[in-house]
Structure 1
C-alpha cells in the first residue's frame, strides 16, 4: 500500500481521482465475482519492460482465458507459449527469445547479448498474438520502452540500452525492502471492508516466504556480494515472523557481514501478548525487532559499516513513538549521530539506506505525511547531503514503488524508492559499482511461485496498483550514473553464501 498505511481519508481523496479515469474491472472488490468457465480463448496482457542494462533486458507479461474473472478482477490464468521477437529495426525482428517457462501464464523473457547504446525494437507474442502494454490511465508513463515508438499501435516497442558505468567492475549490492513477513492479505484498505485485499491461493506457501525465498536465490544467482534490507522486515513485528525473516535472509550469508537490515514502521515496538517476551521498547510496548536484529544491551538500531571502502549508513526511520501510520522520524539522539557521521570524510563514497523516503513526489495516489520522513528532518538531512561530494545514493522503501528522485537541495544524490519485495512488482534492485560510476537495476523475483503471486497481487487497489508500483518510466527502476568510485576495493571472488547464521 502507498506508505504501507493507506487510510480512509487517503482512500476518499484517491477515489475521486480514480473515478475520473477510464473504468477497469472492479469485480475483485465487490465480493461477488465468480470465474467464468474457460472456453479455450486466450488473451495476453500486461507487457512490461522491467529490467534494462547495457547488455540485457527483462520483459514480462501474462496470459489468461478471455472474458473470465478469477475473483481478483483479472482473467483466469491460462498457460500459453511466449516469445519475444526483436532486432535493431522495427521491420526486421529476426531474433527470437523464449522465457523461463515455455508453457505458463507468467511469462519472463530475458534478452541477452545486447550492445550498449543501441536502440532495439521488440514484440512479445503468445499464441501468435501481440501483447499489449500494462495500461497507464492515472499517470503519464511508459511501461514498455524508453521511447514512445509503437505505443499507439500493437507494437513493436522500442528501448535504447544505456552505456555501462566507466571503469573496472568492483562488486554488487542487492537492495530490497518491505518483506512483510507474516502478512496474509496484500492491499488492504483500512476502514473500508468492501475493498478486499488479495490473498494467496489456498494450499500454496505464504506469499512473503515465497517472495523472500526467490529474492535470496535470485540475488545470489546475479552475483550480489552484499544485501541491504531497508525496513518492514515483518508485517507487525511478531517474534516468529522476525525469526523467519532472519533465517531466510541467512540463506544469503551472515548477518552484519553479508547482509544488513534497518527498521520500518511495521517493525516498531508493539503492545500485546505476542510481544510480552521481548525487551521493553524505548518508546512503547515491547521491541521484538531490536531483540532479533540488534540484541546487544544498549545497542542502537542504526549503524555505519565499511564495505570494501564504501561507507554504508543504516538509519532507523521509525525511532519514535507512534502507531506506524504517521511520518517517520529519527530520535534526537540518532539525528545528532547521523549528522556527525555525515560530517566525517565527506569525500568518501557513501550510501544511506533506511525505510522512509526523504521526499515523495509524482504519485498517482495521495501524498500524505505518513509517506515520508518528517519534513523538517528531511530538509536538514538533504542540506547535509549537499555538503557531501562522496554521498551518491539514498535507498528507501515504504512507498512500495519504484521511483527515482533528484532533490534540488542535493542534486548529486539519487533518492531511490524501491518497490516492495512482497508483492507486485515483487523484486529487488542490484547496485553494481565500478571505479567510474554505478548502475542500479530492478528485477522481479522469478521463481514460478514468485511470478504467480506477483501477477495475482497486481490487482490491489481496484487493479490500479501497477500505475503506482512499477514506476512511470524505465528510468525509475534502471539508471547509470558516472561517479568517481576509484577509492573502493574490488571483491576478489564471491563470498561463500549458505545457511550458516551469525551468532546473536
Structure 2
C-alpha cells in the first residue's frame, strides 16, 4: 500500500508558479516505478480560495488514475473546496472537511484544521471528539492522521505563531491510541519529523518549493529555497510503515542494483522512468 502525500500547492489566479508545481507533482507520481494506491493533499490547495482557483486545482489532478483526497489549509475556503471536489471518504463530520478513508490495511483520518479568518489552525471540541470516536472504534487498524497544521512547534517563530492552537488536546488523544503510526501535516513548506505522543509526526514539503530556514535567526524567516518534494508512505506486511521523501525532479532512468539474488556490478538500466514494463 502506497500513499503519496503532497501539500501547499497554492494555485493562484494570475500566477503560473503553483500550476507548474502541480503539473510537476502529477507527472512525478505517474513516473514512479510503482504507482501509489492513494494520493492525499494536505491543504493550501489554493492561495486565495476563489472558485476559479479551485477549478484549476481540480483540473490539474485529473490525469491521476487513483483516488485523491484533500483537506483544507489556512489559505483555503472550506465550502468552495468542498463544492469543487464533492463529498469524500466516509463518516464525514458535518460542517467540516473531516472524514475517514479505508485504504486496504490502513485507515486514514483526514482532519480539518481550518480556522476562518486566521492563518493559525484549530481543532475545536467537535473536531477533537470526532477524532477520539474514530480512533476508539478501530483500535486494531493501523492509522495515519493527516492534517494541514503540524501539532508541534517547529522552532521558526513566524510559523509557530500560526500553528495549531489545540496541539495539547490533540496530542492527548493521539497518546491514548497506539494504532496511530503517523501524523502527517503540511503548512511549513519543509520536511520535518519528530517524536510525538508515542508516534512519529512529519511535515510534507511543498510542491512549489521547500524552505531551509536559517536556524540562527528563529524570530525571522530567512530561508533558502530548495527543490520541491512529496512524501510516500509505504506499508508492507512484516515491515510496517515507512515514509520516504521523494524529490520532484525531471524523469530519470530506472537502474537495477540488485536482481533479487546478487548485487549487479556494474548496475544496469532497466527502463526510462515513467515507461511501464521492461
| Common fold: TM-score over 0.5 | yes
Deviation at 1:433, TM superposition (A): 1.2
Contact persistence 2:74–2:116 (CA under 8 A): no
Q: Which of 212, 229, 232 is equivalent to 1:430?
A: 232
Moved over 3 A (4+): 294-300, 365-368
Question: Does structure 1 residue 421 correspond to structure 2 residue 210?
Answer: no
SS in 1 for 2:113: coil
Partner of 1:302: 98
Partner of 1:247: 59
Q: Which of 226, 229, 240 is equivalent to 2:41?
A: 229
Contact persistence 1:207–1:422 (CA under 8 A): yes
- State the distance in 2 between where 1:385 and 1:299 align: 23
Partner of 1:384: 173
Deviation at 1:238, TM superposition (A): 1.1
Partner of 2:10: 180
Quote the RMSD (CA, aligned, Å). Answer: 2.3
Deviation at 1:245, TM superposition (A): 1.2
- State the distance in 2 between where 1:367 and 1:355 align: 12
- State the distance in 2 between where 1:290 and 1:367 align: 26
Alignment of 1:435-446 (within 5 A): 435=237, 436-446=239-249
- State the distance in 2 between where 1:208 and 1:321 align: 22
- State the distance in 2 between where 1:227 and 1:445 align: 15
Q: Which of 321, 341, 359 is equivalent to 2:116?
A: 321
- State the distance in 2 between where 1:405 and 1:250 align: 34
| Alpha-carbon displacement from aligned partner over 1:177-196 (angstroms, at most 9, x marks no partner) | 100011667xxxxxxxxxxx
Alignment of 1:464-479 (within 5 A): none
* Structure 1 unmatched runs, 5+: 1-170, 186-205, 270-286, 449-504
CA gap of 1:248–1:348, structure 2 versus 1, over 3 A, is: same
Deviation at 1:174, TM superposition (A): 0.5
SS in 2 for 1:178: coil
Contact persistence 1:176–1:229 (CA under 8 A): yes
**What is the aligned residue count?**
228
Alignment of 1:19-30 (within 5 A): none
Q: TM-score, normalised by structure 1?
A: 0.43
* Structure 2 unmatched runs, 5+: 210-225, 252-278
Partner of 2:22: 212
- State the distance in 1 between where 2:39 and 2:187 align: 17
| Alpha-carbon displacement from aligned partner over 1:306-332 (angstroms, at most 9, x marks no partner) | 0003110101101x332x32x201233
Q: TM-score, normalised by structure 2?
A: 0.75
Alignment of 1:136-285 (within 5 A): 171-182=1-12, 206-222=16-32, 223=34, 224-253=36-65, 258-268=67-77
CA gap of 1:360–1:239, structure 2 versus 1, over 3 A, is: same
- State the distance in 1 between where 2:38 and 2:192 align: 22
- State the distance in 2 between where 1:314 and 1:397 align: 13
- State the distance in 1 between where 2:142 and 2:87 align: 29
Contact persistence 2:11–2:45 (CA under 8 A): yes
Which protein shows a greater Rg?
Answer: 1
Contact persistence 2:42–2:71 (CA under 8 A): yes
- State the distance in 2 between where 1:268 and 1:392 align: 29
Deviation at 1:252, TM superposition (A): 1.0
- State the distance in 1 between where 2:178 and 2:54 align: 36
- State the distance in 2 between where 1:427 and 1:418 align: 8
CA gap of 1:177–1:386, structure 2 versus 1, over 3 A, is: same
